[in-house]
Structure 1
Amino acid sequence: MDFEQLISNITPDIHTALKRAIEIGKWPDGQRLTQEQRELCMEAVINYEQRFVAETDRVGYIDRGSKAEGELCDDKPDPGDNPNQERPLKWSE
């Protein structure tokens, strides 16, 4: 069985079990994952999610939608500012 067939045969339950094993570093029977097993599990989860899971539901998804009106994070520097110059952090409530 090649890698493509392996990914195609992963069920949602197996996907969940692989994510859980990565998260806690152990198989369901309590045996610790080796570094190689962890890497292979991550690769399988990523490939499975790219094929079968909506982007917004994937592990690590960050919503980069528009900010609500009035949000101040990521202020743009003034046009005359040196981009390498340190700027004070502005806290607002």
Structure 2
Amino acid sequence: MDVDTLLKAMTPDVYQRMSTAVELGKWPDGTPLTPEQRDSALQALMLYQSRHNQDAAHMSVAKGGEMMFKSKAELQREFADDKIGTSGDTEKADSGSIARFPADKF
């Protein structure tokens, strides 16, 4: 199969499943990936990202095939913006903590 045929056949759902499989080392049904499957899936994911990735995450392949690296400060700003955007709160997010729960809730 050539690259263009592979990328045309790969839907966002297939991309996400392959990405999860590479991250976890197993397919959605629990079958472990062989080293060859992991390598092939990773190459396919990078090719897909190089064609479709509009918002490249830290250390990924941006659209056009360029490697994208984001600094820690850039990532913190993005996470803070996400937190503000989802909560509807315009107060600046506290980047020093992840979550706080009262001790009596456990």
Fold match (TM-score > 0.5):
yes
Task: Give the structure-2-normalised TM-score.
Answer: 0.54
Name the structure 1 match of 2:10: 10
Q: Is residue 2:27 matched to residue 1:27? A: yes
**1-side partners of 2:13 and 2:59: how far apart?**
15
Structure 1: 5+ residue stretches without partners: 68-93
Deviations 1:35-76, CA, capped at 9 Å, x for gaps: 000000000000000001125247634225x99xxxxxxxxx
| Structure 1 position 62 matched with structure 2 position 69 | yes
Greater RCO, 1 or 2 (C-alpha within 8 Å, sep 6+)? 1
Q: Unaligned 5+ residue runs, structure 2? A: 61-67, 75-106
Report the aligned-residue RMSD.
2.5
Given that 2:59 and 2:70 are in contact with CA atoms closer than 8 Å, whether structure 1 keeps it comes out as no
Between structure 1 and structure 2, the one with the greater Rg is 1
How many Å separate the matches in 1 of 2:58 and 2:48?
A: 10
The 2-side partners of 1:31 and 1:39 are apart by 16
CA distance in 1, matches of 2:21, 2:59: 14
> Which amino acid letter does the alignment assign opposite residue 21 of structure 1?
A
1:47 aligns with 2:54: no
1:8 & 1:62 partners in 2: Cα distance?
Answer: 27
Aligned residues: 67
1:77 is matched with none
Structure 1 segments of 4+ aligned residues over 3 angstroms from their partners: 57-61
Checking the alignment, whether the CA contact within 8 Å between 1:21 and 1:28 is kept in structure 2 is yes
Between stretches 55-64 and 28-37, larger displacement belongs to 55-64
The normalised TM-score by structure 1 is 0.61
